[in-house]
Amino acid sequence: PILYTRALGLADDDASLLFEDSRGDLWIGAFSPAKTGVTRWERNSGRFFHYSDSDGLEAFNAPSAFAEDHNGGIWVGFREGGLACYRHGRFQRFGAEAGMPVGSIKALLVDQSGRLWCSVDNVGLLRFDDTSGEMLRPDVYSVRQGLTSNILSVIGEDQQGRIYVGAVHGLERIDPRTGRVDHYGAAAGILGGYILDIQRDRAGRLWICTQNRICRFTPETEQPA
C-alpha cells in the first residue's frame, strides 16, 4: 500500500472524511480545522489540489459532509456551518447571507430527483429543490413538521424516494410527495443509540449503523393508488 501524508501531498495527516465523485476523484477533509480545508486527489494525474479561503471557502472551517449533484457539482458541508459547491472549476459559498440557516452540517444527500438534502444541527432537515442560483431557499423539516428532534445525523433514501434521517431516538422517514413523517424507534427494532450511517443494498434494504450495533430495515413497498 501507499501511505499518503503531507510529504506526498495531503494538506493534513489527520484525514477524517473521504468522498469519491463520478470522475473517480477523491475529496478529502481533515478533522482539525485548518486554513486549507478541502483537498481533492485527481485520479487521472495522481495530483493533490488544496482549496482554502483564496478559492472562496471559509478558512478554519473543516468539511463535515460531501455529495455530488446530477450536474457533477460537488457539495461540501462544514462543521461550523455553511455550504459550498464546486462547479466549473470554482467554489460558490452559501452562508447565512445566501439563505443558509446557521448550524453545523451533519450530512448531505442528493436524491433520485436531484434535490439536495442537508441535516443541520438544532435546525432540522433542509430540502433544496433548486440550487442553481445565488440564493438557497430551503424547505425545512423540524419538530414543527412532525420530527421527534431537530438534532439529526446521517441521511438515506429508499427505492421509493422516501428520505430517512437519524434522530436522537431512532429513525425518521419523510415522504417528500405527501410531507408525511414516520418515526421508527426501539419498537421497530432500531436500537443502539446514535445513528452513524445509512446504506441501501441492491435489494432495497437499508442497513443502519448505530453506536453499538447494525440494524437491517426493509421498507415496505407502496401500493399504487
Given a cut of 80, whether residue 176 has pLDDT beyond it is yes
Q: For 21-56, give the DSSP string.
A: -TTS-EEEEESS--SS-EEEEETTTTEEEEE-GGGT
Residues 184-208, mean pLDDT to the nearest whole number: 89
Average pLDDT, the chain: 91
Residues 97-102, mean pLDDT to the nearest whole number: 93
Position with higher pLDDT, 191 vs 108: 108
Given a cut of 50, whether residue 117 has pLDDT beyond it is yes
Given a cut of 60, whether residue 225 has pLDDT beyond it is no
Given a cut of 90, whether residue 11 has pLDDT beyond it is no
Q: How far is CA 139 from the centre of its chain?
A: 16
In angstroms, the Cα distances linking 69 to 73, 93, 128, 161, 214 are 5, 15, 11, 16, 28
Q: What is the pLDDT of residue 222?
A: 67
Q: What is the pTM of this model?
A: 0.92
pLDDT band at 130 (very low <50, low <70, confident <90, very high): very high
User: pLDDT for 206-218, tens place per residue?
Assistant: 999 998 889 999 9
All 3 cell numbers of residue 184? Answer: 421508527
**Beta-bridge partner residues of 118:** 108, 126
